[in-house]
Structure 1
Amino acid sequence: MCSGGTNVQFELTDTQKDIQKAAKEFAEKEFDSDLALELDKEGKFPKSLFEKACRLGFVGIDYPEECGGQSLGLFENVLMTEEFCRKDSGIGISIGLADMASGIILRHGNEKQKQSYLVPVTQGKAINTVAVMDPFDGGNPVPAKAEATPSEYVVTGKKTFVVNGPIANIMVVFCEGYPAPDPKSVRSVALIIDKNQEGVKVLDRRRMMGLWMTSVNEVSFDRVRVPKGHVVGEPDKGAEYVNAFLVEQRIKTAAQALGIAQGAFNQAVKHSREREQFGRKIAQFQGIQFMLAELYTQIEAARSLVYRAAYSYDAKSSDLEKMSSIAKLFAADVAVRTALDSIQIHGGVGLMREYSIERMFRDAKTIQNLVETNLVERALIGRSVIS
């Protein structure tokens, strides 16, 4: 028997229903399938669609009004993300990853930083990102270093798997700061760095299985001078800020996975109603019906978990960290399974680039390992259970 939990209101409010409807209508109207295929093939960010989403208030929906947002919560962001990714996984995820650093600045930044770096995002004039992951050398991570002086930090090193490296205006970079107050401790500091600053170099793109509209790169820093005013929050709490960032990103990734699962399922149902074999629509075969029934059940369960995690986030619940891992783990697994089974139902055409289900599978498998792998999520959940 499971213990505890957040009391979730399952009926959406009128405002939430309006947001869900508006996001669905926007995606249906603007996410053209031919454009999506072209952007995916060419590896281009959907800039014009991002700007339209900003003008309509979708991007930054959970920012405060004074920062250009609508003062809503992550729950509303999840509703929007689900609808975007249901229509097209590549476009939906790309728009969702365009402001990865915003949550960090909102939670820990000062008012000047919020005004300088968040308002332009909501206007479609800026993109931000986060540099967290260190490259490995011989199996050991090699962190970027930030040398503290009385007036600034001097950053040297590399970060890998930086999303939107070539197009981001600024990035929040997590570095190992020194000298640390305690020689035995590791001091992690979060710094806002302009991508065009001297010493910053975006290196070659790392081509992944999916998310082809989103560039992922390694970024190097060669004695980059960062003023103390660009420190986010307190200079020794970077590790704490990373943890909060991961919780938020797990829930957003879970919402993307949920949207992919629903979109792949819808395509499977549509194809089964149209495709004929042996003089019958394949939707009439019990084997297909059993597949669809299982997928439908799994998607509904995933939706409940994702919504609960988003609700827990907005309510600042004590079970938030665990729920974020559960939601991301389950929703990502369901997205991969649903996309794969949808390909099976489509048959040979499901493997063709012209059918978006092929892209949905690649994107689902990629986000299954995005932020953290699902093996890591299982480890985090297991640790929480036994503690």
Structure 2
Amino acid sequence: MAIDFTLTREQKELQKTAREFSRDLLAPVALKADAESDPQRAFAMMKPVYAEAYKLGFAFGFLPEEYGGSGATNLDVQIISEEICAVDPGFGCILLVNGLALMPLMWFGSEEQKKKWFTEATSDPTGEYIAGYNVSEANGTANFDHPGTHSAGLQMTAEFDKSAGEYVLNGSKFWPSSSGGWDLKGANVNMFIVRSDRNKGGKEGLSCVLVPRGTPGMEFKPPIDKVGHRTNQNNWIEFDNCRVPEENAFAIGNGDLVISKAFTWSGPVAGIAAVGVARSALEWTMDWSKTYTAAGDKAIINYQAVGYMLADIQMRIEASRYLCWKAAHYLDMYQEEGQAFGAMAKVFACELLFDTVFKCMQVTGTNSLNKEYPLERYLREAVVLPIYDAGTIGMQRRKIWGVMADPDYDINAFRDCKPVPFKKSMEGWGL
């Protein structure tokens, strides 16, 4: 039978390594960083842990072996990500963003660009190499594929100076992750989605540019102070005639497809991050319910209301995990083409998370509000996951809708693992 949810020996070893790393190295630092009031300091506190993750292949293992990666599959990434995010989804986001920044080169870059940037990313002896992914802007990102010109959708521009063979960047980005780097002077490389043609809409006028650390004309403001994902850096960046060579650009006129595909790749990863947080909340609440009596004569797990609620939580977590695994498996089959299905995993798992954590708090009662216990932190993380990484109600649901509305869409394609080619005509629904 082709369907088998049993992990291979190699995957079990991968899971064990990720679990031990998360428990022994990540957890102590993440708890301190979460309590740090300065967001940049909190992010910088994660650098030594990140260097250890880099050595284990967690930072760039998704890249092919020929470029220095480990050739990890999307399913492998699921296994690693759940263990890491069960401890700290903010740190998981740092690793995820490396993929959002560089995976687009796998799909749209030239061989020369892959060799240059992938090899650089995987061969840092310090283990501190980090990449930033920059789409979001202050006016929002959901309508990146709006048919309007410069006045609508993404507005950061990259005008081509033919005489110099350079793109000139102007505008700003707001909310991107890891872009400021460990010292707020820039990540090693930043990938930006830009408007390369002011006279065309989002389906034709967007492109990608890679901007290395130290490029003049790029200013990083203090990171955004957030309620959750405290260990993850989110930036505000301003550009004033920032120049990058023509060879740093790719996917010219197809930046919209890059956005759609990148957030497709990350969808199941964000989904499994939600599973990891939900799992931790349930594990802690289960232990609580088996010892806490609420001044009664027996532990509260013995009461029907508590038992039913915990049973519902367990069922939903399992359903979310296997949807994420199925979506990752599908993406492995079709080179990350599965836009509706990656989005489904993200939406389902991340929206389920908040309800899961809140139900755990209801079981625990007033004590769940005590910062001595972890549920308040899990709740803060549960608020983040349905909103970040292309959200759930804007870009993600609209992507699912656009694919399903296509005249050629097969409603059973995901069930049967049949390919569903993504077309530009599927973008922009409901603008």
TM over 0.5: yes
Partner residue, 1:40: 34
Partner residue, 2:96: 96
Partner residue, 2:180: 166
Q: Identity over aligned residues, as a percent?
A: 24
8 Å Cα contact 2:132-2:178 kept in structure 1:
yes
The secondary structure found in structure 2 opposite 1:381 is: helix
What displacement does 1:164 show? 1.6
1:334-355 per-position Cα deviation (integer Å, ceiling 9, x unaligned): 2212221222223333223332
CA distance in 2, matches of 1:184, 1:170: 24
Q: How many residues align?
A: 377
Q: Does 1:18 align with 2:13?
A: yes
Q: Relative to 1, partners in 2 of residues 1:53 and 1:120: Cα closer, same or farther, differing over 3 Å?
A: farther
8 Å Cα contact 1:99-1:121 kept in structure 2:
no
Q: How does 1:67-78 map to 2 (within 5 A)?
A: 67-78=67-78
CA distance in 2, matches of 1:174, 1:291: 44
Of stretches 335-344 and 150-159 in structure 1, the one that deviates more from structure 2 is 335-344
Q: Does 1:345 align with 2:371?
A: no
CA distance in 1, matches of 2:323, 2:116: 35
8 Å Cα contact 1:85-1:263 kept in structure 2:
no
TM-score by length of 2: 0.81
Runs of 5+ consecutive residues of structure 2 not aligned to the other structure: 141-150, 182-186, 407-431
1:123-163 per-position Cα deviation (integer Å, ceiling 9, x unaligned): 423111111123329x9545111111221111111112111
Q: Relative to 1, partners in 2 of residues 1:192 and 1:262: Cα closer, same or farther, differing over 3 Å?
A: same
CA distance in 1, matches of 2:131, 2:202: 33
Runs of 5+ consecutive residues of structure 1 not aligned to the other structure: 1-6
Partner residue, 1:134: 137
CA distance in 2, matches of 1:163, 1:29: 25
User: Residue type of the partner of 2:190?
Assistant: M
Q: Does 1:196 align with 2:190?
A: no
Partner residue, 1:146: 158
1:212-236 per-position Cα deviation (integer Å, ceiling 9, x unaligned): 111212211111111011113x422
Q: Does 1:270 align with 2:273?
A: no
User: Residue type of the partner of 2:322?
Assistant: S
CA distance in 1, matches of 2:176, 2:166: 23
1:220-259 per-position Cα deviation (integer Å, ceiling 9, x unaligned): 1111111011113x42221111111111121221121111
Q: Relative to 1, partners in 2 of residues 1:343 and 1:115: Cα closer, same or farther, differing over 3 Å?
A: farther
CA distance in 2, matches of 1:307, 1:11: 12
- For the aligned residues, what is the CA RMSD? 2.5
Partner residue, 2:300: 282
CA distance in 2, matches of 1:98, 1:352: 35
CA distance in 2, matches of 1:385, 1:305: 18
The secondary structure found in structure 2 opposite 1:148 is: strand
Partner residue, 1:57: 57
What displacement does 1:8 show? 5.1
User: Residue type of the partner of 2:192?
Assistant: V
TM-score by length of 1: 0.89
CA distance in 2, matches of 1:259, 1:340: 15
CA distance in 2, matches of 1:249, 1:363: 17
Partner residue, 2:107: 107
CA distance in 1, matches of 2:337, 2:206: 25
What displacement does 1:94 show? 3.5
8 Å Cα contact 1:121-1:127 kept in structure 2:
yes
User: Residue type of the partner of 1:48?
Assistant: P
Q: Does 1:238 align with 2:275?
A: no
Higher fraction of strand: 1
Q: How does 1:204-283 map to 2 (within 5 A)?
A: 204-232=222-250, 234-277=251-294, 278-283=296-301
8 Å Cα contact 1:175-1:190 kept in structure 2:
yes
